[in-house]
Structure 1
Amino acid sequence: MGLMTDTMVWPTLQANDARALIRFLIDAFGFQENVVHGDGDQVDHAQLDWPLGGGIMLGSGKPGSVWSLKPGTFGAYVVTDDVDKLHERAAAAGAEILKPPFDTDYGSRDFTARDPEGNLWSFGTYRGESARVG
């Protein structure tokens, strides 16, 4: 079992070929497999952890169910410490690079890619703003 986490928000997605997408997300982007439940090609539930904290949950597409998400319509911003190294890894693993590494006007270094299912991934150094109290 993976590391304990106190993450309270879990982005989720569904895939036409969840097992292939899991392999891609691990190989191309560096997610870490925590758990995968299901038989054969079917993935009922998977959790992939991000090395800096948090992660995603995903599974095989479930057309017609109450919890049905169209595969390929997910998008996420993921914080990384080394954008250029991750960009090289993603490109080498076959990710479609939509925007190579660039510097933003708010101090982040980012790049944008698409996975084989069509989901959009933006990776960057921007960690968000601190919570405002009061």
Structure 2
Amino acid sequence: MTFALQYCHITVDDMNEAVAFYRDGLAFEVRSDVGDGGQRWVTLGDPVHGGPEIVLSSAYAGRSEAEGDALRELLVKGLLPMIVFSSDDIDADFERVRATGAEVLQEPIDRPYGVRDAAFRDPAGNTVRFHQPLKG
């Protein structure tokens, strides 16, 4: 049996801001935009490399009010798990994301464990990191 990651869910509080960040800043394409009962899920994917898709949703999408409240509280505090993307040109990607006005947490830096990495917060406060293997 073979398993592969298909979707990665990211909780956001403003869908339009989040879509703009992941579409324009990270250069993902919108694959689907679905609404149901006042909720909305947007799926985005890498148009060049494929791979897992990102599903943006609110804290209340598919959850009870109490569950949504608890998840939203974690989101507001910045306590949800980070997401890490690999990059083949971290400096260019960093500048494209910075141009969206995203909060910079860390400019690109070479790490002793063999990667160059950088970090932002998306419009909802989720930590988004990029890394690129160091050459040589």
TM-score, normalised relative to structure 2: 0.74
Q: Which blocks of at least 5 consecutive residues in structure 2 are unaligned? A: none
Cα RMSD between the aligned structures? 2.5
Q: Which deviates more from structure 2 when the two are superposed, residues 58-67 or residues 19-28? A: 58-67
- Aligned-partner Cα distance in 2 for 1:17–1:82: 28
Shift in Å, 1:14: 2.0
Structure 1 residue runs of 5 or longer lacking an equivalent are: 1-5, 127-134
Contact 1:16–1:61 (8 Å) recurs in 2? yes
Match of 1:24 in 2: 21
Question: 1:48 matched to which residue of 2?
Answer: 44
Q: Alpha-carbon deviation of 1:8?
A: 2.4
Query: Do 1:13 and 1:74's aligned partners in 2 also have CA atoms closer than 8 Å?
Result: no
Distance 1:124 1:35, change over 3 A: same
Which range moved further: 52-61 or 109-118?
52-61
Regions of 4+ moved over 6 Å: none
Structure with more strand by fraction: 2
* 1:117 aligns with one of 112, 120, 124: 124
Q: TM-score, normalised by structure 1?
A: 0.75
Q: Corresponding residue for 1:106?
A: 113
CA distance in 2, matches of 1:113, 1:27: 14
Provide, for residues 78-105 of structure 1, a one-character-per-residue CA deviation record: whole Å limited to 9, x for no partner.
Answer: 1111100000001111111110001111
Asked if the contact 1:18/1:42 (under 8 Å) is kept, the reply is no
For residue 64 of structure 1, what is the aligned residue in structure 2?
64
CA apart distance, 1:74: 4.2
Partner of 1:13: 10
For 1:95 and 1:32, locate their aligned partners in 2 and report how far apart those are by CA, in whole Å: 19
1:67 deviates by 7.0
Identity across the alignment (%): 30
Which structure has more helix as a fraction of its residues? 2
